[in-house]
Amino acid sequence: MSRDLSKVRNIGISAHIDSGKTTLTERILFYTDRIHAIHEVRGKDGVGAKMDSMELEKERGITIASAATNCTWKDLDINIIDTPGHVDFTIEVERALRVLDGAVLILCSVGGVQSQSITVNRQMTRYKVPRIAFINKCDRTGANPARVTQQLREKLDLNALPMQLPIGLEGDMKGVIDIVTMKAVYYEGEFGEKIREDEIPAELRDEAEELYEQLLDAASMFSEELMEAILEGTPTPEMIIEAVRLGTLELGITPVFVGSAYKNKGVQSLLDAVMYYLPCPTDIENIALDLDHDEVEVKVTNNPNDPMVALAFKLEEGRYGQLTYLRTYQGTIKKGDSIINTRTGKKVKVGRLVRMHSDEMEEIQESGAGDIVALFGIDCASGDTFCDDSVNYSMSSMYIPEPVISLAIKPVDNKAQGNMSKALNRFTKEDPTFKTFVDDESNETIISGMGELHLEVYIERMKREYNAEVQVGAPQVSYRETISQRADFDYTHKKQTGGSGQFGRVAGYLEPLEEGDYEFVDNIVGGSIPREFISACDKGFQKSLKKGALAEAPVTGVRVVINDGNSHSVDSSDVAFQLAAVGAFKQGYMKAKPILMEPIMKVSVEGPTEFQGSVMGSLNQRRGMVLGTSEEGNYTVIDAEVPLSEMFGYSTILRSLTQGKAEFTMEFSTFRQVPKNVAEEIVKERLKEKK
């Protein structure tokens, strides 16, 4: 059975916390007739909305994990990929962006474009995701969709094009004017489910006509047909829709819609917009890497009859066992098929295949290209690619940032011990930015991730979902070491203790590497170190990088060049050269003037202008560098770069400094040298701990 892919939409809904994303999703599911009651996110009935399936999310009122939900609107098959809204979870956002074809950017009509929208928008631009905007909460006091549209242009640099004009705002919002058809649309009935079209109210006529002209101007840039029709005076709504669609796909236009999900206004029109303007799977070019042919880039075909290629983008431990969410890019997965995980080479059997509606599921027999489904009982990590046995592709690997913060955890009792390791095992599979290991020296379990909140959420989940109570140590920043100048080494490892000895000499130099962590250059000529021992040298150097001599932090940004050496016909061995390399590195390292590097976060604080001075002062006190401020009315955004080590507990400080009126986001930016006096302190601290 081949499906009409033009009737499929894989979309994401992305927004700042509290822009009403969950409520909107809930309403979408309501209108698409899958659920029959509407619950609020923080509902009084305690039932909670459908998409936030994790307990914790219900409590905090934010959406953390991305689940995929299927629904049907008119003859359209929509998969909604819910994307988390906090920057600490960006790997989840990015993975969701990878599998969706288009997105709805939700904005609050009062709050407008906030820092989180900026981050998400930047990610969407990076993954070239066509998007439409929905200005929600037009029923709230202070709603100003026109200002938000202007912010979309100025702050996000999008060609925001109003497709609707609200009829009344705040408490008076009655409906919207559809600029394409130039009709007023009212949402009536108890849940706004009855749609009534009418003439445009006289007082809004002029404004609507102005927007219509603006729409024609912008849309005609993308369609000659429309351009000609305008000249002849006969543009039809179909032509306008097609032109706007083309502009949206090219990322040249961002159509803007308005409404209030809470008050049931505008949701159906938004669903129509998803149908009209967002791409279907075949509109988007997706690239796989052919692992059998030097990772050559191949375009996936979307053809259900081609070899199967699918990406596992999300794992979830559900009530019924482990669920793996898959997006199929070509071919068809059938129940009972054998598929291969191209990362591990392992073959797995497709048992149950389901389509998810958050907590409820529907058994299906097969899933074709472009679809999103979930599989039961498949062992894999998220980000893995599955193929059938005729191809060996990997959906291009995504950039995964190194963790910047870590903390020690200790189970409170034996039972917690077992549960903890179960939980950690699961989390590391779900989230590649979450890592865990046991420290050899202290025997402590260390978890590391992208931020304080990131780790906090996992600790909470351990407690709730796995019943693993743990004691938590103070968070530690992940420092790095690097060298600041070139230094030579020439080291001979010699050991003679009866029997066969060990001998190896390695000479060369270390130098700073501008990009990348480590590079090994073999400039040996004339075989002064025999071929077979070169990789042992490389291994020895890599071993040395794990703990620098300065503060026992990992060493990065080093190029090691070897250009001379000696060997002994009997006493040289892999081990001897590995040890020689370790010695050589030690010899060269301190001469290369090592420096300590710390993670620097890009911090963005937004809030009322009156607090600008004290907020800047607080950032300054934290060794922060204020890069700039943008002031708009009484609202200011401050951008700064601040060392992560200084940001612990900042949310509390900020809250008390601004009476809770300001908020901040932060995102890893780069590693930068720690100032000398601070570095000395850190080195002293770390060495003391080790004693």
Partner 1 sequence: MQKMDLADKNPLRIFARDSEGKPVDKRMGLLMSRPGLGKTAILVQIALDNILRGNKVLHVSIGQSLDKTRAWYDDIIKDIFAGVKLDDSKELRDEVLRNRLIMTFKEADFTRPKLEERVNDLVVQDVFMPGIIIIDGYDFENSAAPEIADLKDMADVLGLQIWFSALRHRDDDRISDEGVPAPCHDVGRFFDTVVMIQPEKDQPDLSLVVVKDTIGSVKPGKVLDLDPSTYLAKEA
User: Which chain residues interact with partner 1 by CB under 8 A?
Assistant: 154-155, 157, 612-614, 616-617, 619-620, 625-633, 637, 639, 641, 672
Is the CB of 332 or the CB of 482 nearer to partner 1? Answer: 482
Question: Nearest approach, Cβ of 635 to partner 1 (angstroms)?
Answer: 10
Is the CB of 471 or the CB of 609 nearer to partner 1? Answer: 609
Is the CB of 154 or the CB of 379 nearer to partner 1? Answer: 154
Is the CB of 517 or the CB of 639 nearer to partner 1? Answer: 639
Question: Nearest approach, Cβ of 128 to partner 1 (angstroms)?
Answer: 19
Is the CB of 626 or the CB of 683 nearer to partner 1? Answer: 626
Is the CB of 78 or the CB of 657 nearer to partner 1? Answer: 657
How many CB atoms lie under 10 A from the CB of residue 399?
Answer: 8
Question: Nearest approach, Cβ of 88 to partner 1 (angstroms)?
Answer: 23
Sheet with 393-395: strands ordered across? 296-299, 287-290, 393-395
Q: List C-alpha distances in Å: 308 to 4, 122, 324, 370, 393.
A: 18, 31, 17, 11, 10
Helices marked H in 502-639: 531-545, 574-591, 612-621
Question: Nearest approach, Cβ of 639 to partner 1 (angstroms)?
Answer: 6
Q: List C-alpha distances in Å: 316 to 68, 377, 465.
A: 11, 11, 12
The torsion angle over the Cα atoms of residues 544, 546, 552 and 558, rounded to 10 degrees, is: 70
Is the CB of 535 or the CB of 673 nearer to partner 1? Answer: 673
Is the CB of 552 or the CB of 639 nearer to partner 1? Answer: 639
| Interatomic CA distance for residues 420 and 416, integer angstroms | 6
Is the CB of residue 19 less than 8 Å from the CB of residue 107?
yes
- Short-list 22, 26, 16, CA closest to 116: 16
Helix (H, G, I), strand (E, B) or coil at 176: strand
Question: Nearest approach, Cβ of 633 to partner 1 (angstroms)?
Answer: 7
Is the CB of 74 or the CB of 676 nearer to partner 1? Answer: 676
Is the CB of 263 or the CB of 593 nearer to partner 1? Answer: 593
Is the CB of 467 or the CB of 673 nearer to partner 1? Answer: 673
Is the CB of 234 or the CB of 677 nearer to partner 1? Answer: 677
Question: Nearest approach, Cβ of 620 to partner 1 (angstroms)?
Answer: 5
**DSSP one-letter string for 620-653:** HHTT-EEEEEEEETTEEEEEEEEEGGG-TTHHHH
Contacts of 210 (CB under 8 A, 6+ apart): none
Question: Nearest approach, Cβ of 683 to partner 1 (angstroms)?
Answer: 22
Question: Nearest approach, Cβ of 400 to partner 1 (angstroms)?
Answer: 25
Question: Nearest approach, Cβ of 149 to partner 1 (angstroms)?
Answer: 15
Contacts of 114 (CB under 8 A, 6+ apart): 16, 108, 606
**Residue 78 has what DSSP assignment?**
E
Question: Nearest approach, Cβ of 481 to partner 1 (angstroms)?
Answer: 18
Q: Which residues pair with 274 in a beta bridge?
A: none
Sheet with 164-167: strands ordered across? 164-167, 175-178, 183-188, 194-198
Sign of the torsion angle spanned by Cα atoms 112, 65, 454, 44: positive
- Short-list 404, 399, 402, CA closest to 455: 404
Question: Nearest approach, Cβ of 288 to partner 1 (angstroms)?
Answer: 33
What's phi and psi for 264, nearest 5 deg?
60, 40
Question: Nearest approach, Cβ of 240 to partner 1 (angstroms)?
Answer: 30
Q: Angle between the 650-657 and 612-621 helix axes, to the nearest 10 degrees?
A: 150
| Interatomic CA distance for residues 145 and 136, integer angstroms | 9
Q: Angle between the 237-249 and 224-232 helix axes, to the nearest 10 degrees?
A: 150
| Interatomic CA distance for residues 280 and 323, integer angstroms | 25
Question: Distance between alpha carbon 333 and the CA centroid of its chain, in Å?
Answer: 27
Question: Nearest approach, Cβ of 558 to partner 1 (angstroms)?
Answer: 17
Question: Nearest approach, Cβ of 623 to partner 1 (angstroms)?
Answer: 12
Question: Nearest approach, Cβ of 621 to partner 1 (angstroms)?
Answer: 9
Is the CB of residue 665 less than 8 Å from the CB of residue 119?
yes
**DSSP one-letter string for 225-294:** HHHHHHHHT---HHHHHHHHHHHHHTTS-EEEEE-BTTTTBSHHHHHHHHHHHSPPGGGS--EEEETTTT
For 208, the enclosing helix (H) or strand (E) is helix 205-220
Is the CB of residue 640 less than 8 Å from the CB of residue 669?
no
Is the CB of residue 378 less than 8 Å from the CB of residue 325?
no
Question: Nearest approach, Cβ of 624 to partner 1 (angstroms)?
Answer: 9
Is the CB of 236 or the CB of 620 nearer to partner 1? Answer: 620
| 262-284 as b/e: b if 16+ CB within 10 A | bbbbbbbbbbbbbbbbbbbbebb
Is the CB of 209 or the CB of 631 nearer to partner 1? Answer: 631
- Short-list 149, 155, 145, CA closest to 109: 145
Is the CB of 151 or the CB of 436 nearer to partner 1? Answer: 151
Is the CB of 587 or the CB of 629 nearer to partner 1? Answer: 629
| Interatomic CA distance for residues 245 and 239, integer angstroms | 10
Is the CB of 184 or the CB of 619 nearer to partner 1? Answer: 619
Question: Nearest approach, Cβ of 671 to partner 1 (angstroms)?
Answer: 13
